Amino acid sequence: MYPDPARARPRRISSAVLSLLATLATVAALLLGVGAPQAAAASSLPCDVYAAAGTPCVAAHSLVRALYSSYSGSLYQVKRASDGATANIGLSASGGYADAAAQDSFCSGTTCIITEIYDQSSRHNDLTVEGAGGAGAADVGAPADALPVTVGGHQVYGLEISAGMGYRDNSTSGVAVDGQPEGMYMVTSGTHVNNRCCFDYGNAETNNTDTGNGHMDAINFGTECWFSPCYGQGPWVQADLENGLFQSDAGYSRNTSGIGTGPLPFVTALLKNNGQNHFALKYGNAQSGRLTTTYSGGEPTAGGYAPMHQEGAIVLGTGGDNSNGSIGSFFEGVMTSGIPTDAADDAIQADIVSVGYGGPTGSTGTLGAGSEISLRATTSCCTTEYVRHQNDVAAISSVTSGSSSLDKNDATWIVRRGLADSSCVSFESRNYPGDFLRHFDFRLHRQPMDGTSQFRADATFCPRTGKSGTGTSFASYNYPTRYLRHYDRNLCIASNGGSNAWDSSTSWSDDVSWAVSSPWAP
């Protein structure tokens, strides 16, 4: 069995005030444009910041990095499909980033699911796969390789939740109960969301059922508008306080100018609640800039919310009663004892930005795993046209140096080891983390990886020498006589001759031959 790294626990930092001052100095530098703080700087990781501010973490969960500068234990556990063996995935260095290579080695030749997410705090509030609840059957673990991402220049994996997946701890230590104050944040994604209940992270009931108003205090992120009207382009950061997703004390948003995040690849979502008469919501682009406060005011005016009645369980990916129809992405998140200061929130956002979520992989223009590429058509009609996604469908269109940043991002892909066969390749969207190029009914689409064997096969392509004598052709893994082809500027998998229009032999060899090029949006 793969050796499990020791689950060492962080030490309390000394000179707390000095640590916080140093962190705030880096925040000021970042916001003023003087310079960005270094990723994983000593004594400035999120739980160090909160401890220095007097609101220590009582839960710290991350798939991608340490949340204490001194942490050297495991981040999560994976379970192998081939033999049921498990392994703990730790860090490449103390206070650093996930050792994804250990996961790749352990899961090689088979698939793995994530069975446990470890709490880095001394409270040991570890999350395991959620059992049945009042609104949902028992959940299953998320596929361990569904969400490859670059964080701090390291290739790691996030947690991608599909419907029917979720994690929970009903027997916690130190988490707020019965109106006690708390804060929490998570880093998530605005590109993998839906309008089903409920993609939450935070405080929930201890019995997996709805026990009434105010018995939850969790961040919700999705496009479900519980209280109309919701303004702006969702998804929205909301507070799941049970029996409602709240954007204000009235439920609906009081900000008519629009407060949705839109499809940001990485989002910081933050909730603070004093448990008595005040809660606040904030969000930010996890790749740049500051936090925006979308609400700061009284508890919901309906009965049962002032004071709150939190029960102290922790939930991730579902509602408090295991309502599990939602989808979402999770990279890191913490919960605190007490209400963090606004200055501490700003320091957390600056630290998250400094990490470089979704940054360049460090390799371009090849079919090696982790390389960023664009795929250019070689047919004489279309030599300035590239494979791109638009409205979830893949096609080819012209991309030039004068094209918009959106067009350039849509035409950039990250090469991953084949999801069904590591000797082949899969193509992850550059600006929709966890979404892959896959065929369905012979057409190509951009879709989130759901971990099924069908998706893995549909999203795997095997490079071959270009059929036209130039470039590279890509055979479908599960339809090996069909190749990635553009036809009438749509993208499909096509054979050389057949009953479908896109199987036409005319220019087939040229249409299935692609130039692997440097990415338009590295």
Domains in the chain, CATH or no CATH each: 16-355 (2.60.120.200), 372-517 (2.80.10.50)
Main-chain phi, psi angles of 456, to 5 degrees: -55, -45
- Give the pLDDT score at 32: 38
Catalytic member of 99, 119, 242, 435 = 242
Specify whether 321 is catalytic: yes
Neighbours of 41 (CB within 10 A): 16
- Give the pLDDT score at 30: 38
Catalytic member of 321, 372, 450, 510 = 321
- Give the pLDDT score at 258: 77
Q: Rounded distance, CA 113 to CA 183, Å?
A: 29
- Give the pLDDT score at 36: 37
DSSP structural state of residue 18? H
Question: SS3 letters for 281-317?
Answer: EEEEECCCCCCEEEEEECCCCCCCCCCCCCCCEEEEC
Q: Rounded distance, CA 242 to CA 210, Å?
A: 7
Which pTM value belongs to this model? Answer: 0.91
Q: Which residues of the chain have pLDDT under 50?
A: 1-42
User: Mind giving me the DSSP string for 316-352?
Assistant: ESS-TT------EEESEEEEEES---HHHHHHHHHHH
CA atoms within 13 A on the CB side of 272: 17
3-class secondary-structure state, position 23: helix
Instruction: Give pLDDT tens digits for 73-90.
Output: 999 999 999 999 999 999
- Give the pLDDT score at 257: 81
- Give the pLDDT score at 43: 61
- Give the pLDDT score at 20: 45
- Give the pLDDT score at 259: 84
Sign of CA dihedral 241, 246, 247, 250: negative
Say if residue 190 is exposed, middle or buried (CB neighbours under 10 Å; 0-12, 13-18, 19+): buried
